Amino acid sequence: MRLSAICFLGAAALAPILQAQAPVREIDYSAINPLKLPEHLYLGEVAGVATDSKGNIFIYTRTGTTVAAFGGSRTFTRGGSRLFEFASSGKFLREIGQGLYGFVFAQGVRIDPQDNIWVVDAGSNSIIKFNPEGRVLMLLGRKQESVNVPSEGGEIAFPRITGPQGSGVEGDNFNHPADVAFDASGNIFVADGTVNSRVAKFDKNGGYLATWGQTGAAPGQFNTPRSIAVDKNGDVYVADVNNHRIQVFDNNGKFKMQYTGMGAPAALCISPGAHQYLYSSDSNPSGTLDHGEIYQMELDGNIVGKFGRAGTQPKEFGMVNAIDCRNPTELFVGELANWRIQKVALHAKQ
């Protein structure tokens, strides 16, 4: 007992020591809103932004209102989020998935190496894969049919498997999933999310492989895995936002290390290429203009620098929920609070 108590105190004392490092370098940057919206088209909260290999920009946004319909003892929800594609010039190209069953509450969009478009919807508990043409290819998770109707009764009830909140579950029983990432073999990793506090791994065909994590603060546990990214070695980086840390796992979920010192990571991104960087946003919480910096890090956790702050003006950030870093010096950030994206150019050290 005594040893473990000492260790606990020691670990608690360790965190501030790790954070007491040299001041973080400020990165010089500029930012523009690149989009030219057609008449009568508006973005709402930008939950997801991503680019494909051609530089086209995909935006998954909470816009319009989710509609709940009466149906006996049940409500059905629909609408409330839309997926748009813009050219790299900012010209509007098209909308994808009009009226789609799974578009309820946008949480994210990512593009895989084959330019497939992956939408994360926290309202329908679905991860939806579109091919580059914009047609649905694959689905993980399932939209909740209704409020619970115990129609089949007792031991032969037929629910999707649910455990106590934060206990971890199996399969694709997502509950407000937050993000999706891929490794070089096409395996799929889902950060699932505010309720389940776990990461789920699937093979490229959607076959369920593994799950890890539950609610907590110990290594391998999560207090809301909010964003997820995979490096070229297949290591998995999870933004454990309310534990104010990034946890790194190997490809099978074995805990490797954790990084602190970059605030509460709400959005992660790992750039491609020979020298990969990790970007993490210490996004301002709802109702505040605190924090807001985006950190550039080495994959080993060393902080290269930071830029930006919370605010409403150009170059400032309002609740960043997504970062695209296909080009490590030209980022796209999606903001919930400011209903926009910004294209951020990072300038080399003077």
Partner 1 sequence: MKPLYTSCFVALISLANALPQGPPPQHLSRAQLNSKAKAENVPEIPYTSVPNLLKLPPNLYLGEGIGVATNSKGHIFVYTRSGETHLMEFDSKGQFLREIGEGLYGFLFAHAVRVDAQDNIWAVDEGSNMVIKFNPEGRVAMLLGRRPESLDGLLPTPAANAPTPPAKPYEFSRPTDVTWDPEGNIFVADGYGNSRVVKYDKNGRFIASAGRKGSEPGQLNLPHSITSDAEGNIYVADRSNRRIEVFDKDLKFKAIYDQVGMPWAVCVSRGPHQYLYSSNSNLDFNIAELNQVTGEIYKMELDGTILGKFGKSGKQLGEFSTVHEIDCRNPNELYVSEITSWRVQKLLLNSRPNTTSSK
State the minimum distance, in angstroms, from the CB of residue 92 to partner 1. Answer: 15
- Chain Cα centroid distance, residue 178: 5
Q: Is 207 in the site for partner 1 (CB under 8 A)?
A: yes
Q: Is 90 in contact with 58 (CB distance < 8 Å)?
A: no
Query: Which one of the spans 115-123, 131-139, 272-280, 306-314 is the region binding partner 1 (CB under 8 A)?
Result: 131-139
Peptide bond into 193 cis (omega under 30): yes
Which DSSP symbol is given to 28?
P
Give 202 or 332: the residue with its C-beta nearer to partner 1.
202
Counts for the chain of helices (H) and strands (E), in that order: 1, 26
* Total residues in contact with partner 1, by rule CB under 8 A: 73
Peptide bond into 44 cis (omega under 30): no
Give 191 or 341: the residue with its C-beta nearer to partner 1.
191
Query: Which one of the spans 2-10, 21-29, 112-120, 334-342 is the region binding partner 1 (CB under 8 A)?
Result: 2-10
Among 48, 102, 225, 265, the residue binding partner 1 under the rule CB under 8 A is 102
* β 277-281/136-141 pair status: unpaired
Q: Is 254 in the site for partner 1 (CB under 8 A)?
A: yes
- Chain Cα centroid distance, residue 108: 6
Query: Which one of the spans 47-55, 94-102, 283-291, 339-347 is the region binding partner 1 (CB under 8 A)?
Result: 94-102
Query: Which one of the spans 39-47, 96-104, 112-120, 287-295 is the region binding partner 1 (CB under 8 A)?
Result: 96-104
Q: Is 259 in the site for partner 1 (CB under 8 A)?
A: no
Give 136 or 304: the residue with its C-beta nearer to partner 1.
136
Which DSSP symbol is given to 319?
S
Tokens found for residue 268: 């992660």
Q: Is 173 in the site for partner 1 (CB under 8 A)?
A: yes
Q: What is the spatial distance between Cα 122 and Cα 193, in angstroms, rounded to a whole number?
A: 9
Among 54, 135, 232, 347, the residue binding partner 1 under the rule CB under 8 A is 135
Query: Which one of the spans 10-18, 24-32, 41-49, 287-295 is the region binding partner 1 (CB under 8 A)?
Result: 10-18
Which DSSP symbol is given to 262?
S
- Chain Cα centroid distance, residue 238: 9
* Vertex 8 angle, CA 211 and 247, to 5°: 35
Q: What is the spatial distance between Cα 199 and Cα 133, in angstroms, rounded to a whole number?
A: 29
Q: Is 211 in the site for partner 1 (CB under 8 A)?
A: yes
Among 78, 91, 309, 326, the residue binding partner 1 under the rule CB under 8 A is 78
Give 153 or 287: the residue with its C-beta nearer to partner 1.
153
